Amino acid sequence: MEPKISKNQFKKAGKILAKKQKDIASEKVEKSEALLATWRKMHIPLLDLFEEHFEKIKKRTLNKKKNRVYYTAQRLKRRESIIKKLRRESTTQLTTIQDIAGFRIICPNLKELNHLKEILEAKKEVNGLILKRTVDYIYDKQKPSGYKSIHLIYSHELANGTELLLEVQIRTELQHIWATTRPCCINLTN
């Protein structure tokens, strides 16, 4: 069941949380924290919808090749990370953060990643999720850090017109090792 909260209420909560807490009345902060928790929970069904879709793809297409393992993980962005992002990027609104819900697929190699990308991009709508765009950090938008991944951004519209976003990341095992090891190394050296 969808909460009877407007998109504008979530936007306002994000603006309050983006400010320094000492400048705002504590009851406003508490209400905004509660709205943030609700916003995060509203994204859980998107993860389930995409997982159902991916399991079908695996059964129909990907598992026909022997010794091919696709690891998956899903998460809701942590409260602290959302608030940090709102404070760091002043134009970002809570309702436009595309990775509140994140689903990651780790492919055995680049050939399998490209094949999976083609399959996912071929179907623009699935289980109420609509593919909005693909961001390619492997070939098109290479990052100086060496980070490589394909991000597919899906949207899901609720009955009240509120749009929720899901970010699906696909990367190879080697790209995943790089993406997870690099921040650890930076933390150790700083």
For 110-119, write each residue's pLDDT tens digit: 999 999 999 9
Mean pLDDT of 65-91: 89
What is the Cα–Cα distance from 60 to 63, expressed in whole angstroms? 7
Q: What percent of the chain has pLDDT over 70?
A: 89
What is the Cα–Cα distance from 45 to 62, expressed in whole angstroms? 24
Mean pLDDT of 144-152: 85
Beta-bridge partners for 105: 72, 170
Domains and CATH numbers, the chain: 7-189 (3.30.460.10)
Please report the pLDDT score of residue 66 as a whole number: 64
Q: Which residues are known catalytic residues?
A: 167
26-45 pLDDT per residue, tens: 888 899 999 999 999 999 99
What is the Cα–Cα distance from 36 to 79, expressed in whole angstroms? 8
What is the Cα–Cα distance from 116 to 97, expressed in whole angstroms? 25
Q: Are strands 71-76 and 150-157 parallel, antiparallel or unpaired?
A: unpaired
Beta-bridge partners for 103: 74, 168
Tokens 């400010």 correspond to 19
How much is the mean pLDDT over the chain? 88
